[in-house]
Chain A
Amino acid sequence: GAGVSQSPSNKVTEKGKDVELRCDPISGHTALYWYRQSLGQGLEFLIYFQGNSAPDKSGLPSDRFSAERTGGSVSTLTIQRTQQEDSAVYLCASSLRTGWYEQYFGPGTRLTVT
């Protein structure tokens, strides 16, 4: 596609429910990144994929968060048993490869946990 796409653009969920956020990177980009941005805060790195592999998961805030990427393309970030503090904008980015390449961001998913 022309750019990184994310869905849904907005998600309101009740505390305790599970949510899935989807990211479709730019075609040909092998690296994919997930970030979280809370109100008034900078971007918090969550996890990245090189191909289908996630070398480091230490940025995930808790074991309620998980992510996967299949076929080297689409990625899904899953939050189980959502809490109010999970409310934030979740941004996905992709780059040609990790390292020396700029990251291009998607429009984000605004998650609100009530």
Chain B
Amino acid sequence: EDKVVQSPLSLVVHEGDTVTLNCSYEVTNFRSLLWYKQEKKAPTFLFMLTSSGIEKKSGRLSSILDKKELSSILNITATQTGDSAIYLCAVGHYFGSNYKLTFGKGTLLTVNP
């Protein structure tokens, strides 16, 4: 059974702290790993990592894919209260000729002032 596991499930930090969120996966025919930020309803896209792009960075956020360990981390440095959200990890993979994204349950990050 395909699965994506995120840890921790929730995290509370103070502004300025650095956080690391984890995602591990077991899927058939892996193609990509995506990170999303969900503040209210709609998840917003952060990064997509593939075999040809295993490290991405945007401002204070960065992510690395470890295909050997079947995992990824999302780092946020100098956290701000606006970073408070659920961070979702999703893995794009094929089953037969069909493509799907399998999501983890997410990590709820709370950044206190």
- Name which residue of chain A comes closest to B99, CB basis: A98
How many residues on A have C-beta within 8 angstroms of the other chain's C-beta atoms?
A: 26
**Which residues of the other chain, A, contact B95 by a CB distance below 8 angstroms?**
56
Interface residue? B71 (CB, 8 A) = no
Residue of A4, A41, A102, A105 touching B48 (CB-CB under 8 A): A102
Main secondary structure of the interface of A (DSSP, over half): loop
**Which residues of the other chain, B, contact A13 by a CB distance below 8 angstroms?**
none
Interface residue? A104 (CB, 8 A) = yes
Residue of A42, A48, A102, A107 touching B42 (CB-CB under 8 A): A107
Interface residue range, chain B: 20 to 34
- Minimum CB–CB distance from A39 to chain B (whole Å) comes to 12
- Minimum CB–CB distance from A98 to chain B (whole Å) comes to 4
Contact indicator A99/B42 (Cβ below 8 Å): no
Contact indicator B106/A42 (Cβ below 8 Å): yes
Bound complex: CA A67 to CA B85 (Å)? 30
Interface string of B28-68 (1 = CB under 8 A from A): 00011010100011111100101000000000000000000
Across the A-B interface, the 5 shortest Cβ-Cβ residue pairs: A42-B105, A43-B103, A108-B41, A98-B99, A105-B42
Residues on A close to B: CB < 8 A? Answer: 4, 33, 35, 40-45, 48, 55-56, 59, 89, 91, 98-100, 102-108, 110
